[in-house]
Amino acid sequence: WEDSVILIHRGGDWLVRSPRLTLEVNGKKLRGEATIGDGQIVTGPDLRFHVETPSTRSSNRGGRR
């Protein structure tokens, strides 16, 4: 894509914004920055990502089981 997508961790929340890209969160146009959470989908020109909260029970963090 042509510009940055910025993820911000503030006070226990995750936020997303972009200086110039038009982003959507769950199909709604983003203005400024938006709080994002588990299950939400962020889309923009040539990009798409899904937000997931890791399960503490199944966390392996790269180690072997």
pLDDT tens string 3-14: 899 999 999 899
- Distance from the Cα of residue 20 to its chain's centroid: 16
Which pLDDT value is given to residue 49?
A: 96
Instruction: Parse the chain into domains and list their residue ranges.
Output: 6-50
Query: 16-55 pLDDT, tens per residue?
Result: 999 999 999 999 999 999 999 999 999 999 999 999 988 7
Which pLDDT value is given to residue 48?
A: 96
Over 70: is that where the pLDDT of 60 sits? no
d(CA 22, CA 59): 33
Which pLDDT value is given to residue 1?
A: 62
CA-based torsion, 12, 14, 20, 24: positive or negative: negative
What global pTM score does this model have? 0.76
Question: Which residue type does 60 have?
Answer: N
For residues 51 and 40, is the Cβ–Cβ distance under 8 A? yes
Residue bearing tokens 């961790």: 9
